[in-house]
Structure formats: C-alpha cells, structure tokens
C-alpha cells in the first residue's frame, strides 16, 4: 500500500503534543482559501512511499511522542494512513490528525478506521475570515480539537510552541506550525 506525500519532517514540537514525526499528504479536495499549504492540494503523484517503509522510518526515530498527519487532506488517503497508524499505535506512539472535514462528514469505513486509531483530531475547514492566532493547533476559530482517547486532554493545549524553523543541509528553510504574519514578515524581509 502506498501513500502520496508532499513531505515529512522527522521531528517537530509545533504539530501536536511532544516531539512528533510529521507526515504531509499530497492531495486535498477542499482547497480552503488562505490555506497555509496550497502546494499540497493537487492529487498528482509527488513522493510515493510504502506504508511499511514509512512505518519503519517512524519507529526507528528515537524520542518520539507520536506521529502527526496533515496535508493536504489526510482523510483523502484514510485507508493507507490507518494502515500506517496501526503499527505506530502498537508501538506506544500517539496519532494526531489535522483535517479540513468536520467529524460528522467522516463516515466512510476508511475514515472510521483512521478515527479509531487517532488520539487527537483537529477538524474543520480553514476559514480565512475567522483566522486566529489565539487558539493552539488551529488556524481559524471554527476549527475544533477532538480528544478521541484518554491519552491527552485540554491541559496539553497550554504552553505549546507556535512555530518552528527548520534549516536543511541544502540551505532551504521550512516553516511549520502557526506563525503570525508579523513573524513571517520578519523572516522574508531583506
């Protein structure tokens, strides 16, 4: 089974509780105006990875609290992500999912399989008119954090890093998390 990915990040503290391996899937049918990741909307082939190989990479990364699925739209590849989440959960790691869908829209068997393996789901379309910088793990005020297991609760929402900058060996800079416009302006100013 294959996943079409936009990118991965082996370690992040801005994409859920603790140190997390982040998986950005490629493809999103929602295309929310103002989305932070419009490069992940197209459903064309980007980086294909087998579920088995990606699980091995994640499980070989020391010191992780869990894995985060984002995108793109994770539930567009729910079957493959559920297959990835199963060994991650079996190894004692947590599963965190960002989705543009509301939970009530996730009714297919593959959706339910992924939801059953998720500890936390942040759900709801990004609405540019409701953009907020005051809600952990959310970009707009309509989005909701759903704690689906007993592993985490609202107390994990306090004191989290809002944004991270990752400098690659090739000199490229990646920004992840929820940066403010002012912060982004300072990073791009000459």
Cβ neighbours, 10 Å, residue 2: 14
**Rounded Cα–Cα distance for residues 126 and 116 (Å):** 24
Higher pLDDT: 96 or 16? It is 96
pLDDT of residue 154: 87
pLDDT in tens, 32-83: 998 888 999 999 999 999 999 999 999 999 999 999 999 999 999 999 999 9
Higher pLDDT: 90 or 167? It is 90
Domain count for the chain, please give it: 1
Position 190 confidence tier, pLDDT thresholds 50, 70, 90? very low
pLDDT in tens, 83-96: 999 999 999 999 99
pLDDT in tens, 100-145: 999 999 999 999 999 999 999 999 999 999 988 777 788 888 999 9
pLDDT of residue 61: 97
Mention every residue, 6+ apart, whose C-beta is less than 8 A from residue 52. 1
> Strand pairing partners for 127?
none
Position 156 confidence tier, pLDDT thresholds 50, 70, 90? confident
Q: Which residue range forms the structural domain that includes residue 57?
A: 2-188
pLDDT of residue 82: 98
pLDDT of residue 84: 98
> Strand pairing partners for 185?
none
pLDDT of residue 184: 52
CATH of the domain at 133: 3.20.20
Give the global pTM. 0.85
- Residue 151's Cβ-side half-sphere holds a number of Cα atoms within 13 Å equal to 19
Task: Say if CB 112 and CB 85 are below 8 A apart.
Answer: no
Q: Which residues of 136-162 are buried (b: 16+ CB within 10 A; e: fewer)?
A: bbbbbeebebbebeebbeeebbeebee
pLDDT of residue 137: 80
């Amino acid at each position: 089974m294959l996943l079409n990915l936009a990118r991965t990040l082996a370690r992040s503290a801005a994409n859920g509780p603790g140190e997390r391996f982040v998986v950005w899937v490629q493809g999103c049918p929602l295309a929310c105006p103002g989305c932070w990741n419009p490069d992940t909307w197209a459903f064309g082939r980007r980086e294909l990875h087998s579920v088995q190989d990606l699980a091995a990479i994640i499980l070989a990364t020391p010191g992780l609290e869990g894995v985060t699925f984002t995108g793109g739209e994770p539930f567009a590849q729910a079957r493959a992500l559920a297959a990835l989440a199963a060994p991650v959960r079996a190894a004692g790691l947590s599963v965190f999912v960002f989705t543009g869908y509301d939970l009530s829209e996730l009714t297919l068997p593959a959706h339910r399989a992924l939801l059953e393996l998720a500890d936390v789901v942040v759900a709801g379309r990004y609405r540019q008119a409701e953009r907020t910088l005051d809600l952990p793990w959310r970009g707009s005020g309509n989005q909701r954090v759903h704690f689906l297991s007993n592993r985490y609760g609202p107390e994990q929402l306090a004191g989290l890093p809002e944004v991270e900058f990752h400098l690659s060996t090739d000199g490229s800079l990646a920004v992840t998390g929820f940066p403010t416009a002012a912060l982004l302006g300072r990073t791009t100013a000459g």
